[in-house]
Amino acid sequence: MRYILIFLFLVAASMKAQVMHCGYDFTSYFVLDVHEAGSKEMIKGLKITVVDSTGTELINFNNLYSFRDGNKPMRFMENYRIGDDNRKLAEGATAAKERWFFPFAKQSYLLSVSNTFPADSFSIKIEDVDGKENGGKFKTLIVPLHSYNMYVLCSNESQQAAVKFGRKMNKPIDIVLEKE
């Protein structure tokens, strides 16, 4: 009987020691709130890429920087709404259970990166390549990235509470564009 109790104690202790994993383990996001001065509405149709110190687009060689889009330039995508069937809604379409694909990002641009992404070594380049979709051509802007800009989605409350001073975690980068 004593051996059964010891065995049950060891099983219970090992179960408690296991760490719960989240669906975003090893992944972080950059979220951009891109708008014009005096407006809260997101500017659509922009080309936003990660660039190095010379302004050259960063290529995700062998998925070094992100687990998505290997051997392609690191480009931001617009978050989009999904419907009842969990598929992307067409522009202007509605659904009963309409929601954002990435609910933490709402209407914004985002980029998935690995948790080890060296953010302080890179910048983002925002270009209005078309100019027709959003009513005017906006000036190109280069904004430096920082590690504190990354959304770390698998952190716990104690990690977030440890940040007492400075910028709080998981806030979008506010980008204000000017027309040319």
What HEC string does the chain produce? CHHHHHHHHHHHHHHHHCCCCCCCCCEEEEEEEEEECCCCCECCCCEEEEECCCCCECECHHHCCCCCCCCCECECEECCEECCCCCECCCCCCCCCCEECCCCCCCCEEEEEECCCCHHHCEEEEECCCCCCCCCCECCEEEECCHHHEEECCCCHHHHHCCCCCCCCCCCEEEEECEC
Residue 60 confidence (pLDDT): 94
Residue 166 confidence (pLDDT): 53
Query: Any idea which fold 22-78+107-177 has?
Result: Immunoglobulin-like (2.60.40)
pTM of the entire structure?
Answer: 0.75
- 27-55: per-residue pLDDT in tens? 888 999 999 988 888 898 899 999 999 99
Segments of the chain with pLDDT less than 70: 1, 5, 7-26, 131-136, 153-169
Going from N- to C-terminal start, the domains of the chain cover: 22-78+107-177
